[in-house]
Amino acid sequence: MFKAILIDKVDSTYQARITDLSDEQLPEGDVTVRVSYSTLNFKDGLAITGKSPVVRQFPMVPGIDFVGTVENSTHPKYQAGDKVLLNGWGVGETHWGGLAQKARVNGDWLIPLPLGISEQQAMAIGTAGYTSMLCLMALERHGVRPEHGKVLVTGASGGVGSFAIALLANNGYSVIAATGRLEETEYLKHLGAETVIHRSELSEPGRPLAKERWAAAIDSVGSHTLANVCAGTQAEGAVAACGLAQGMDFPASVAPFILRGVSLLGVNSVTQPYARRVEAWSRLCDELDFHKLTEITREIALPQSLEAASDLLQGKVRGRLVVDVNR
């Protein structure tokens, strides 16, 4: 038996609870992993609280990422004892995820734990750090360079935002951080932000075109914020969009795209090809200041995830929540 968070829905009753499960209940897959750590992401918060229909089938174990040790495997890449990690691939939505002491998954969804980092560090980075690196890589593929101008990061106090600031600053970019919590200004500047602005400058309906303020942006908020980010982007600039904390809608004009040549780059952290996943994690190991992980991260026990999910959705959590599933 092993412990897990289990979400179930009977009639109209939605419930998330800690429970004991057996190996026989695990879903199909060719690799079984003894999970060491998972994390609590925005999507996990939605799943646990039922605030949005993230969970596609019931019962469901949430947790969109995890790291651990292979217990048994019939996949050619992995054998018992290997350290592996997973981001995305529908775990926690359509397939049981990482907020449990065991997981069984398709081995193609895994990558080896990179050398030189611990399991706890891997989940301190987690999907938030991984997504931030994918955004940076997308901007780079578009040709964005530090000399082109400032880069805006929205949702700056959250997990994706915190890592985006640290990664951009480490790569020589001048960063503007937008946050609803100006009391975190010192924290954001320590991560590498040069300027901190209040999110209210971006979160309300705005003009189709605004003053050109940044060469590029990483946005995890969506809705009016993303529309205003695009409106304030310099000619031939780019915006990497990876989240929907404010909403899924995009009440924007085509003006930034057809009058300034702004590019909107969608970043999907769920189903990236193996080579790109490995590249992203390799760069994270090389380009992150691991001394800052302790400032970005707070560790909690598995049962604490239930309460923390609500705090996360209310914007009360700074940085990352790492979940030690074995306590």
Q: What is the DSSP string of 220-279?
A: SSBHHHHHHHHHTEEEEEEEEE---SSBS-----SHHHHHS--EEEE---SS--HHHHHH
Give the per-residue pLDDT at 291: 84
Give the per-residue pLDDT at 47: 94
Mean pLDDT by 10 residues, the chain (327 residues): 94 91 96 97 91 89 97 98 97 96 98 95 94 98 97 94 95 97 94 97 96 98 98 98 94 97 97 96 93 86 94 84 95
Domain boundaries, the chain: 2-113+296-324, 127-266
Distance of alpha carbon 95 from alpha carbon 220, whole angstroms: 24
- Residue 280 Cα distances to 64, 76, 140, angstroms: 17, 23, 13
What sign for the dihedral angle of Cα 185, 269, 129, 278? negative
Distance of alpha carbon 91 from alpha carbon 97, whole angstroms: 4
Distance of alpha carbon 182 from alpha carbon 94, whole angstroms: 37
Q: What residue type is 195 in one-letter code? A: T
User: b/e per residue, 218-249, with b = 16+ CB within 10 A?
Assistant: bbbbbbbbbbbbbbbbbeebbbbbbbbbbeee
Same fold, 2-113+296-324 and 127-266: no
The architecture in CATH of the region 127-266 reads 3-Layer(aba) Sandwich (3.40)
User: b/e per residue, 115-132, with b = 16+ CB within 10 A?
Assistant: eebebbbbbbbbbbbbbb
3-state secondary structure of 136: helix
Tell me which CATH homologous superfamily contains domain 2-113+296-324: Medium-chain alcohol dehydrogenases, catalytic domain (3.90.180.10)
